[in-house]
Amino acid sequence: MRQRAASASDADGATRAQILRLVVADGPISAVEIAGVLALAPAGIRRHLGELETDGLIQERIGPQGPAGARGRGRPARYFVATPAAHRAFEQESDALAVEAIEFLARTAGPEAVGGFAGQRAQRLEDRYAAAIAAAGPNLADRINALAGAMNADGYAASVRPGPRGLTLQLCQGHCPVHQVAQVFPEFCEAETRVIARLLGVHVQRLATLAGGEHVCTTCVPVALELRPATPAGAAHQGGGGGKEGDA
């Protein structure tokens, strides 16, 4: 009996972990949408969502169809996003130590050194993602999806969502390994935004960031524009953290 109870508890824990990953990656998301992805009953999903909400890992938020309850008759729709506590559970770096180290760098070498370090880190991302983007071909939507896939391999919980009137696509990052650092040093967000612009070959705009207190980083990409020639890797990066192309 104990073994069966333990097995059920383990299964519930695994299911909740899957649900939390979906909320982090795709939130705002409803119980019905999660049930569709996991092929489970919505009633069971709601039970797990309730426990995650009680644990402070998710919270209700306005969803893509409007405020919760804006569906007319019947049970109101509820949409969920991850809380800062959930993002901390996904952290892959020691943020406290990283912030302390970069603060020391800023004091001893000046803010230009911080910008240079942020740019160097972003350049490594660009070098790592460049081949996947090139393989996607000239179609901008394909390139955005390829970038999201490459970022997922680094734990960014990235997804691509349509923007208003079909004129834009939104590259969303449900997790950022350095978002606590970026809260103190926005140079990291700015450098990453420039890399996204260079990889896609278009001007992009950051609409929201985890570092700014939002539940997801959102980068707006205008798909109606022509691609411009890609900047050679590293060419636009000379001079450290200078330049603001593509910043929100």
Question: What's the CATH fold of domain 95-237?
Answer: Muramoyl-pentapeptide Carboxypeptidase; domain 2 (3.30.1380)
Average pLDDT for the chain: 80
Alpha carbon separation from 54 to 2, 48, 58 (Å, rounded):
26, 10, 8
Alpha carbon separation from 45 to 5, 16, 121, 201 (Å, rounded):
19, 8, 39, 40
What is the layout of strands, in order, in the sheet containing 79-82? 29-30, 79-82, 58-60
**Cβ atoms of 144 and 129 closer than 8 Å:** no
Note the pLDDT tens digit of each residue in 46-103: 999 999 999 899 998 765 544 444 445 555 578 999 888 887 666 644 567 788 888 8
Domain with CATH 1.10.10.10 in the chain: 2-89
Domain with CATH 3.30.1380 in the chain: 95-237
pTM for the whole thing?
A: 0.59
CATH architecture for residues 2-89: Orthogonal Bundle (1.10)
**Is the predicted pLDDT of residue 172 greater than 50, yes or no?**
yes
**Is the predicted pLDDT of residue 209 greater than 50, yes or no?**
yes
